Structure 1
Amino acid sequence: MLSEKGKYASATENRRFVWSEIIWPLILEINDVAFSLKQFQKKREQVCKERNISITIPSRGLASLIQKGILLKERDIYSIHFRLIPYMRLKADCDYGTAIHEVRIK
């Protein structure tokens, strides 16, 4: 995943990866709008092992998703933005593009 891209392009790539490969599958798996840091770490380790990538890439992506407002953090609990809850209820695919679009709608 390490590439010759600029800082912003790799940050977006990290966010996309973390959202589509770790967080959204985790949300659908546990069928809840919130997850703990431990749940995230367990899922992250599983995905990193399967794809043979460094654990540091998804770590940066998590913080980045919080900055973008897709995830909200309170202590060790993370939750998805309220506009993404209908996707979870429908067990729909919610890619990063959809997530960022929903969160940005006023």
Structure 2
Amino acid sequence: MLSEKGKYASATENRRFVWAEIVWPLILEVNDVAFSLKQFQDKRDVICKEKNITIHVPSRGLVSLMQKGIIRKEGNIYSIHYKLIPYMRLKATCDYATAIHEVRLK
């Protein structure tokens, strides 16, 4: 019998996917700490088509990233947490584990 993932495992998986496949690559592409909803949607559509998944997964993942404080939203503009800016400036890899660790540091 196949068991379904719990809602917390799914939420974490969605966050990891959105961060690794959409948000961080988008931040590096635009070379800015912020991106528009339109930029996110365009990137999301390309990735969803490549990976053959629905747009619902990335939508939930984006909201989840905001709840964790990794991304902030003001109007239609999303920005990364200020502690992640040095990674962007260095064009460094910043996986989800690094992002959540940096944001949670006091």
Secondary structure of 1:79's partner? Answer: strand
Match of 1:24 in 2: 24
* Amino acid corresponding to residue 49 of structure 1 in structure 2: K
Q: Percent of aligned positions with the same letter in both sequences?
A: 79
Alignment gaps of 5+ in structure 2: none
CA distance in structure 2 between the aligned counterparts of 1:11 and 1:25, rounded to whole angstroms: 20
Match for 2:80: what amino acid?
Answer: I
1:48 aligns with 2:48: yes
Aligned to 1:82: 82
Aligned to 1:8: 8
Query: 2:101 maps to what in 1?
Result: 101
* Deviations, residues 58-103 of structure 1 (Å, cap 9, x unaligned): 0000000000000000000000000000000000000000000000
- In the alignment, the residues of structure 2 paired with residue 89 and residue 5 of structure 1 have an alpha-carbon distance, to the nearest angstrom, of 36
Q: 1:4, CA displacement in angstroms? A: 1.4
Measure, in 2, the Cα distance between the counterparts of 1:12 and 1:52.
Answer: 20
Question: Which stretches of structure 1, 4 residues or more, deviate above 4 A after TM superposition?
Answer: none
CA radius of gyration, larger in: 2
Q: Could you say what secondary structure the match of 2:87 adopts? A: helix
CA distance in 2, matches of 1:33, 1:21: 17
How many residue pairs are counted as aligned between the two chains? 104
Q: What do you get for the CA RMSD once the two structures are aligned? A: 0.8
